[in-house]
Amino acid sequence: MLVGIDLGTTNSAVALWQDGAPQLVPNALGKMLTPSAVSLAKGGQTWVGEAALDRMATHPADTVTSFKRMIGTASTVTLAGTTLTPEDLSAMVLRSLADDVEAATGERPTEAVITVPAYFNERQRRATRRAGEIAGLEVRRLINEPTAAALAFGLADKGDREPFLVFDLGGGTFDVSIVEMFEGIVEVRASAGDNRLGGDDFDAALVKLVEPMLPAEALDRLPADRRRALLTLAAERTRRALSTAEEAEFSVVVAGEPLTARVTTEGFEEAAAGLVKRLRDPVIRALRDCHIDVKSLSDIVLVGGATRMPVVRKALTRMFGRFPNATVHPDHAVALGAAIQAGLLSGGEGLEEIRITDVAPFTLGVDTATRDVHGRFHEGIFAPIIERNSPVPISRMERFSTLADNQRQVTFAIYQGEAREVKKNVKLGELTVPVPPKPAGEVAIDVRFTYDTSGLLDIDVTVPATGTTRNLAIVDEDDRRTQKDIAESRKRLEKLKVHPRDEAENVALIARAERAYEGFTGAAREVIGQALTDFTGALEKQDPRIIAAAREGLTRLLDEIDAHSPL
């Protein structure tokens, strides 16, 4: 079975093409979004999703979120003594989504379309593909998130339209794409973004704003990582509250003592002004790259949970001189689009007329030397071969020649980026080809770059004089060990004891009760504590009926407490 997956920085979702429409699959808690969070305990106990996020406040050192920001780098995280790569962590989320599909349909998915930010580079794309493979999913295609959102938007409102802009602000990444649909072809005209900007940054800005308003002595009692985790979680809650109210209370409980601060929309807007300003640049770049005038955009389509913030909507209204379009579900559009792409790949009914064309998000090229008018050589100059926002798939060739007399070989260093000096761009790999010794400039070397629909790069270097060719299908140096690595990662993850899917609900409930316990003192605290003890006792009985009854009882108690909350 082929599924569509939005593997987000903050939240992930999975959807299927079913009965002629894309459909989201709920997780064990009945939710369509699964937080991209992983938590481990000593002995290899593992939590993924909501349950992991719940452990963030109590076990920040053993819990990780936003690991998508590390994907494609060599960074690792160690949770409760186990070292994991960003691919491993992503694979754990993917596996949990696959479990949900299996629970819903009775069939284990084996293939997936996974979405990535349009602005993801080569390394990040390859790492995402590896994560899928570690999770036991063959990744049929990677598609850009805004493209997926555009598919969901375009399909909801079939027919030809003027170019529209997809504005996707998630938890950790920001993506802008300009898309056109014409006679069943979805064409991404340009993409730009900032993969270091999202809701997380607004949380950080809010923490910075409120921290000085809270009593320092109380906060100082917390270890640094717990302090940051508590403040960040509270900031996110406050930020959400500010999406529907003019004022909200920021509150954390430290050692049973509630610390609070009032935050106004105005105060928050001021604190976030610097971030809001950063939303402009990618919009301008995308418009410029495809030579489209802002006035000819038919819609500004909002995607990503962070576009719910009024401060962002206000800024957009100002930027575009009109209200953005909020008709697609900001949290679901990307996964739904991935499922549409899955439907297209598996020949789903009603979809034969749609095709997608996408663009390369970065300029790709090689390191060269050039001679200036005075005859001096300048080294380390970037020679673009495929320019950013070229439609993919694409194949382009450039001819280069030798620099020195009797040169025996030529090495091409491959880079992506927009800077003129290669050292400011990202190096993807290297390719060396032998050449016959001749005077400088007399041996030609052809370099061909081919970029496929998943945004993966293939490079061929040919010396026409000798017919020698070299191919670098795998640009990433790390990829050489890929197959072995994937097998090893899989084994490592198998050793971890993931909670059975039906336990997710219990784990989440315990975490919720523990939070409630921490939030009270006195009699209320005692009642919650007793209820918690009773519930864990029921779990030990291992009788599903007893557990279900106890779960209902504890949920009722917590709901009642929430209903009497002063907020």
| Residues that bind ligand ADP in the complex, under the rule CB under 6 A | 8-11, 170-173, 198-200, 236, 239-240, 243, 304-306, 308-309, 331
Tell me the closest approach of the beta carbon of residue 8 to Mg ion, in angstroms: 4
Q: Are 186 and 148 in contact (CB under 8 A)?
A: no
| Choice between 335 and 447, CB closer to ligand ADP | 335
Instruction: Establish whether 424 is a catalytic residue.
Output: no
459 binds, among ligand ADP, Mg ion, none (CB under 5 to 8 A by kind): none
- Cβ burial of 81 (10 Å; 0-12, 13-18, 19+) is exposed
| Choice between 8 and 132, CB closer to Mg ion | 8
Tell me the closest approach of the beta carbon of residue 406 to ligand ADP, in angstroms: 54
The span from the CA of 363 to the CA of 387, in Å, is: 4
* Catalytic residue selected from 62, 88, 122, 168: 168
Instruction: Establish whether 68 is a catalytic residue.
Output: yes
The span from the CA of 304 to the CA of 198, in Å, is: 9
35 binds, among ligand ADP, Mg ion, none (CB under 5 to 8 A by kind): none
CA of residue 565 relative to chain centroid, distance: 34
SS (H, E, C) 149-195: HHHHHHHHCCCCCCCEEEEEECCCCEEEEEEEEECCEEEEEEEEEEC
The span from the CA of 235 to the CA of 410, in Å, is: 54
Site string for Mg ion, 1-30 (x = CB under 5 A): -------x----------------------
CA of residue 93 relative to chain centroid, distance: 12
Tokens of 476: 């990433």
| Choice between 311 and 351, CB closer to ligand ADP | 311
Tell me the closest approach of the beta carbon of residue 245 to ligand ADP, in angstroms: 11
Closest CA to 112 of 124, 121, 101, 127: 101
Tokens of 257: 């003592």
3-class DSSP state of 264? strand
407 binds, among Mg ion, ligand ADP, none (CB under 5 to 8 A by kind): none
Tell me the closest approach of the beta carbon of residue 239 to ligand ADP, in angstroms: 5
Instruction: Establish whether 552 is a catalytic residue.
Output: no
Tell me the closest approach of the beta carbon of residue 124 to ligand ADP, in angstroms: 14
| Choice between 50 and 187, CB closer to ligand ADP | 50
* Catalytic residue selected from 50, 62, 68, 367: 68
* Angstrom distances, CA of residue 113 to CA of 141, 316, 536: 5, 31, 39
Report the amino acid identity of residue 214: L
Instruction: Establish whether 299 is a catalytic residue.
Output: no
| Choice between 167 and 412, CB closer to Mg ion | 167
The span from the CA of 515 to the CA of 253, in Å, is: 9
What does DSSP assign to residue 324?
A: P
470 binds, among Mg ion, ligand ADP, none (CB under 5 to 8 A by kind): none
Tokens of 168: 């996707």
Tell me the closest approach of the beta carbon of residue 416 to ligand ADP, in angstroms: 23
| Choice between 114 and 463, CB closer to Mg ion | 114
- Alpha carbon distance, N-terminus to C-terminus of the chain: 45
309 binds, among ligand ADP, Mg ion, none (CB under 5 to 8 A by kind): ligand ADP
123 binds, among ligand ADP, Mg ion, none (CB under 5 to 8 A by kind): none
Tell me the closest approach of the beta carbon of residue 392 to ligand ADP, in angstroms: 23
The count of residues interacting with Mg ion (CB under 5 A) is 2
- Cβ burial of 364 (10 Å; 0-12, 13-18, 19+) is buried
Residue nearest to ligand ADP (CB): 199
243 binds, among ligand ADP, Mg ion, none (CB under 5 to 8 A by kind): ligand ADP
Tokens of 63: 């819990």
Among 163, 170, 337, 384, interactor with Mg ion by CB under 5 A: 170
Tokens of 57: 């406040």
Contact residues for Mg ion, defined by CB under 5 A: 8, 170
Residues annotated catalytic, as ranges: 6, 68, 145, 168
